[in-house]
Amino acid sequence: MLLTILYNVIDMCNLLLLGIGGQELIFIALIILLLFGGKKIPELMRGLGKGVKSFKEGVNEAKEEINKAKEEIDEPENKEKKDN
């Protein structure tokens, strides 16, 4: 049952990974499990999650700064239009 679910999830991910099949993903997962062990994988995933969260925060901050700069550029133009 669990293996069937895992295989279905792997097949769904196949489209995202551009041709890597289910057997290859299972092989890669087993290699990772052997290299890091069952106890280290959750720690690695937590670290990966924190990294992604930090990246998203950085992207949002950059977007905010760009929007602020755009608003500052647009403000003088709006004042000139109001004066005319």
45, containing H or E segment:
helix 22-83
Q: Is this prediction's pTM over 0.75? A: no
The string of pLDDT tens digits covering residues 42-82 is: 888 888 899 999 999 999 999 999 999 888 888 776 666 66
DSSP code of 24? H
* Per-chain mean pLDDT for the chain: 78
Instruction: Please give the angle made by the CA atoms of 38, 45 and 28, to the nearest 5 degrees.
Output: 60
> What is the structure's pLDDT at 16?
60
Are 41 and 33 contacting, i.e. CB atoms less than 8 angstroms apart? yes
Q: For 3, how many CA atoms within 13 A lie in the half-sphere containing its CB?
A: 2
Percent of the chain at pLDDT > 70 equals: 65
Tell me what pLDDT residue 53 has: 93
Do residues 6 and 13 lie in contact, with contact meaning Cβ atoms separated by under 8 Å?
Answer: no
